Amino acid sequence: MKLAKINKWFGEKHVLKDVSLEFPAGQTTVLVGPSGSGKSTILRSLNLLEQPDRGTYDFDKLHLNFAKSVSRKQKLLLRQKTGMVFQDYNLFPHLTVLQNVTEGPIRVLKKSKEAANQEALEILSKVGLCDFAGSYPAQLSGGQAQRVAIARALAMKPEYVLLDEPTSALDPELELEVLRVLLKLAQENQSLIIVTHNMVFARRVADRIVFVEDGTIKYDGDPTAFFAPDNPDERIRHFIAAMTMEELEA
Amino acid sequence: MWHTIQSSLPELLAAGFKYTIPLALVSFFWGLLIALLVALIRLSRQNGVFKILKGIAVFYVWLFRSTPLLVQLFIVFFGLPHLVIPGVFPDGVQLKPFTAGVITFSLNTGAYASETIRAAIASVPKGQWEAAEAIGMTRLQVLWRIILPQALRVALPPLANSFISLVKDTSLAASITIAEMFSVAQQITAENYEPLLMYIIVALIYALFTTVLSRLQAWMEKSLAKTAPVQ
């Protein structure tokens, strides 16, 4: 999975400037950076919820050039290979937990209801929620809802799971429930791309850190070097210090 | 008095079941289809053919909401026969009364209901579209499986209102020679000279029909709430 020289404008605002990134399979990439830096836009470009204006995108054998138009077929193909988890879950409120998870496999992958149900229950027990299969989203806590959303993404057997600030709407205890699930997935070598503000978690789970600021990539590499107190980049040192509140008393 | 009620009631009810209710049901069915189509056109992105369709849709809604239903009925039933189009309608557009009624009521209901449906679809959060598209569903699947079921909950009370209004408005069809309930009441009155009694009876029958519909609406709202609690 590879983005090259991606550019995106929202009106007059140039939000992504020649962004090039590669996402090797089986790794956990964590995108960090200040709000409005463009990290969510990068993530949303990966499954074309946001379509860049210029640049190219390679995924397996699929090659997209955003200067030309992207066909509907390419779009749907790409979305089947990527799962998406949103900050505010976006579960389907009129469907049960089980139906939320099986909707994609049945409608998009055309699986039988029996097969889809069985797989969904397996995935739900993996995220610790098989007892909630018959519940409706409104009956769940935020942490449970987000774990269902992860199960919904996993049910499509995506090559990559994209997570857009998956725990920003949760209090710390519920956040932990979700992070445990993500850590487990990372350890199983599921390819994950996570946008987060949680530096402790980023450090723990990331195989690789990408620091985005002002629509450009300021750091792309090893987490240990990124979090090292002697990181030569002063801006990054400052960012980490702010996120971990090291300078609260300063 | 009892004699009058006894002798007129079967005739009135027969007209109700033969014309009033079918006229309302058939018109509402087509009205909903038109409304859904118009709502989707108006919510579509602005480009190409859709821009023209959107213009037509806006004009249609404006036309039917800004003119009286009775006048619309007269134009379709009494007016259109004078619309001569050589080759297509050489003798003017001649419609049977029931057909003219269904066409007018459908178009009228469709104009109002399209606004209801448009607002209901727009009320479903954008995140629902994104989540459904993210799992690879086509736009049509998203609409049918995810958006419309949620929009229905919002649209149900105002749509039920439209249907109840439509049932009562079918009484206007008396003026285009359809033998529905109100026109039968008028005919009976012409024979027995008891306008007060006859029109009260027919009013009560309308009230009975619409009360049953209100109950049905309450039941539907309750069962929708049970299967899909609001998030």
Domain count, chain A: 1
Give exposure, A34-45, as e/b (b: 16+ Cβ within 10 Å): eeebbbbbbbbb
The verdict on residue A115 lying in a domain is: yes
Backbone angles phi, psi at B64, to 5 degrees: -80, -20
The verdict on residue A199 lying in a domain is: yes
pTM as predicted? 0.88
pLDDT over 70 (residue B228): no
Task: Give the minimum alpha-carbon distance from A210 to chain B in angstroms, rounded to a whole number.
Answer: 23
- Which tens digits make up the pLDDT trace of A87-140? 999 999 999 999 999 999 999 999 999 999 999 999 999 999 999 999 999 999
Q: What is the pLDDT of residue B231?
A: 42
Task: Give the minimum alpha-carbon distance from A115 to chain B in angstroms, rounded to a whole number.
Answer: 18
Angle at which helices B195-227 and B2-15 cross, to 10°: 50
CB contact under 8 A, B136 and A76: yes
The verdict on residue A179 lying in a domain is: yes
The verdict on residue A249 lying in a domain is: no
- For residue A246, the one-letter residue type is E
CB contact under 8 A, B141 and A76: no
Q: What is the pLDDT of residue B81?
A: 94
The verdict on residue A156 lying in a domain is: yes
CA gyration radius for chain B? Answer: 21
How far apart (Å, rounded) are the C-alpha atoms in residues A223 and A22?
Answer: 16
pLDDT band, residue A244 (cuts 50/70/90):
confident
* Cα angle: A66, vertex A71, A77; to 5 degrees: 100
How far apart (Å, rounded) are the C-alpha atoms in residues B226 and B213?
Answer: 20
Q: Name A63's bridge partners.
A: A58
The verdict on residue A248 lying in a domain is: no
Residue-range definition of the domain harbouring residue A188: 2-243
% of chain B residues with pLDDT over 70: 97
- Taking the domains of chain B in order of start, what are their residue ranges? 2-227
The verdict on residue A49 lying in a domain is: yes
Give the ipTM: 0.91
Q: How far is CA B205 from the centre of its chain?
A: 20
Residues in A whose CB is inside 8 Å of some CB of B read 47, 49, 72, 76, 79-80, 82-84, 86, 88, 90-95, 103-104, 107-108, 136-139, 149, 152-153, 156
The verdict on residue A83 lying in a domain is: yes
* Cα angle: B53, vertex B55, B60; to 5 degrees: 95
CB contact under 8 A, A94 and B150: yes
Q: Strand A2-10 relative to strand A216-221: parallel, antiparallel, unpaired?
A: unpaired
Which CATH number is A215's domain given? 3.40.50.300
Domain B2-227 CATH superfamily: MetI-like (1.10.3720.10)
Task: Give the minimum alpha-carbon distance from A167 to chain B in angstroms, rounded to a whole number.
Answer: 16
Spell out the residues 6+ positions from residue A167 whose beta carbon is closer than 8 angstroms to its own: A146, A174, A175, A178, A179, A196, A198, A201
Nearest to A165, CA basis, from A33, A7, A15: A33
In chain B, residues with a C-beta closer than 8 Å to the C-beta of A76 are: 136, 138
Nearest CA in chain A to B131: A90
Q: How far is CA B106 from the centre of its chain?
A: 5
